[in-house]
Structure 1
């Protein structure tokens, strides 16, 4: 269960294909700058990645920051993550709630109003919506017609919405202005020339939005 939507404000997602930084190093940087939630995303997950996931979980616990696992409910249970984030083609949110319990955080991806109408939101705590802007990290990501699409989903959603897709420190404010409760980033940190500077810049934007 999501106890405070402020934890969605600076939402970092790991990048298993980043050329220079391991997911654990990415998380250290994001947390050090002020990330408020971390999602472990690895579309090529194998058992030999388990130690890395456990390390990331501990890094988040040390900072009292929620840690969720992308797609993999079994892995979330195994490492005692705080929750899971599901796509439209993953297990249904009700199954995640059944397996992870009432205290777990359950997120769901919704790319447009049609998906929103078809999705069972009752077991969910928040939704991720995008791609708001073009992104190379998730080339197969559906788009939501930019900021107008984001705002349309926000207005229809009974849940807090996290904007994702091409988010940077320069455009994050616009996402908040169009109703997002948080912004999720991957490559703005994981593939940056100066990841810590980018992370700090985004944190400053998120903090300012929180005071608005």
Structure 2
């Protein structure tokens, strides 16, 4: 899936920027699943580009899903075992999202996202469980910043689970939350944030959820 030149570039980038170990954990459907196979091949290929990367694969029925807050397949979790933080992609992180995926790997390896100190402290201050779902389409150029903002929070705080949700794969879920346009971020299954908001605004929205009755 990756051409030789890109693999060489990524290998060099990982060699210079990865600090700690990162697991790429795939959760697939228990029955045959085309996108699951595609995502597994992709994940295995990326994991060969650094000795700090490893790959695991589990069926959705695995008890491992609860540990990572995974509810649907295919899901790919970028996981820092040392910090118990993660970033999840429900769908293939291709097209505009490939860069986000690579940035998440590097941030997970570093132990925290590369954001300003005050925003990092604000993300770490969240003291209640948070689930962020960012609905996207693969053709949306405005969606990756929304995904990265959510992932920055989850990579800073183990109480936060954040996932990119590809609306083309999870149409019923998008319909359940009446997603008419993307990106749209759902906070704890109730509050919604439309568009690609700055990280500071998303953090304010997340913190306000715990204040609502």
Whether TM exceeds 0.5 here: the answer is: no
TM-score by length of 1: 0.28
Q: Relative CO higher for 1 or 2, CA cutoff 8 Å, sep ≥ 6? A: 1
TM-score by length of 2: 0.28
